[in-house]
Structure 1
C-alpha cells in the first residue's frame, strides 16, 4: 500500500512545481485520484501529460503498491479557467 503523501512526493520529484491533490477513491490505499496542476504540462496533449505522471509513479505501480491512479491534469492557465 502507498499513502497519498508518498504519491505526491513521487510526482513532485519529477515535477517540482506541481500542485498535487490526492484522494483515496476506495479506502483501500491502492486506488487513488490525483489532480495535478503544473507548468510541465504546457504544450503537451492529454496523453503526454498522463504519461509524464505515470512515469513518476511507475515503480509503485510495478510493485503493486499502487493499483490504479485516475488523473486530472491541468496547466496553471487551464486550472485558473476552472474557477
Structure 2
C-alpha cells in the first residue's frame, strides 16, 4: 500500500523545482503537480513524465490509479 507522502517525495525528487500535493486512499490517488519541467509540453507528455516516474509502482499494482493535474509555475499562478 502506498502513502500519499511517498508519491509526493518521489515526484519532488524526480522533477526539478517540483511542488506536489497528493491525497488518496492507498491505491487511488489525486495529485496536483507543479514543475517548470512541464514548460512547452502537452498534457499527454506531462502525464507520461509522471507515469514514468511511478512506473514500477504501477507495474506491481501497488499504485492502481493516479488522477493528476500537471501545471507549470506560471499556469499555477494564473489558476489562483
Asked if the contact 1:13/1:56 (under 8 Å) is kept, the reply is: no
Please report how far the alpha carbon of residue 71 of structure 1 lies from its aligned counterpart in structure 2 after TM superposition. Answer: 0.7
Distance (Å, rounded) in 2 between the aligned partners of 1:54 and 1:13:
14
Quote the residue 2:15 is aligned against. 15
Please report how far the alpha carbon of residue 74 of structure 1 lies from its aligned counterpart in structure 2 after TM superposition. Answer: 0.4
Distance (Å, rounded) in 2 between the aligned partners of 1:9 and 1:65:
16
Quote the residue 2:55 is aligned against. 58
Structure 2 residues without counterparts, runs of 5 or longer: none
**1:6-62 per-position Cα deviation (integer Å, ceiling 9, x unaligned):** 1112212210311000011xx3x1000010010010010000000001110011111
Which has the larger displacement, 62-71 or 5-14? 5-14
The two structures have a TM-score, normalised by structure 1, of 0.91
Structure 1 residues without counterparts, runs of 5 or longer: none
Q: Does 1:37 align with 2:41?
A: no
Moved over 2 A (4+): none
CA RMSD after TM alignment: 0.9
Distance (Å, rounded) in 1 between the aligned partners of 2:20 and 2:67:
13
